[in-house]
Amino acid sequence: MKVKELVEKLGLQVFAGHQGLEKEITGGYCADLLSDVMGNSQQGMVWITLQSHKNVIAVASLKELSAVILVNGVKPNADAAEQADAEGIPILGTSARAFEMAGKLWHLLTT
């Protein structure tokens, strides 16, 4: 599934990184500790988090993640959005909680 299909199916907001919407999604990872994401996420995953710091984009870029979903209505810090535009990594948003978003993503990717 592509990031843009995920956006449509789950009604997500696109904050930044629009040019990355064609990326292919291979799975998901859910964590708020960036050190954990650096260690355990894998290429192509969508990362569900409430961290909005610009380091999120650096980690997503390093790990070649397909997109970041900010939950709980969190908006990206301004410098994070800028970085996401520069790197082409979509930052998506939802008012849903991480549990709910992970459940929906799981369902979409496995059924």
Partner 1 sequence: MNQYKADLHIHTLLSPCGDLEMSPRNIISAAKQRGLHILGITDHNSTFQAPLVKELGQEAGLFVLCGAEVTTREEIHCLAFFEDDHTLQLFQEYIEDHIPHIPNVPEKFGYQVVVDREETILQHYPWLLINGLDQSLEEVAAKVHSLQGIFIPAHVSRPKFSIISQLGFIPPDLDADALEISRHTTREELFEQFSYLMRWSIIQSSDAHFPEDIGLVYSLFEMEKPTFEEIKKALAGQDGRRVIPSKSLQKP
Q: Which residues bind partner 1 (CB under 8 A)?
A: 32-35, 37-38, 51-55, 58-59, 77, 79
Least spacing, CB of residue 62 vs partner 1, in Å: 8
Q: Could you tell me the smallest distance in angstroms from the CB atom of residue 38 to partner 1?
A: 5
Instruction: Give the span between the Cα atoms of 12 and 6, in whole angstroms.
Output: 8
Residue closer to partner 1, measured from CB, 35 or 110: 35
Kindly state the smallest distance separating residue 104's Cβ from partner 1, in Å: 25
CA distance 56 to 34: 7
**CB nearer to partner 1: pick between 10 and 34:** 34
17 in Cβ contact with 87 (< 8 Å): yes
Inter-axis angle of helices 55-62 and 78-87, to 10 degrees? 20
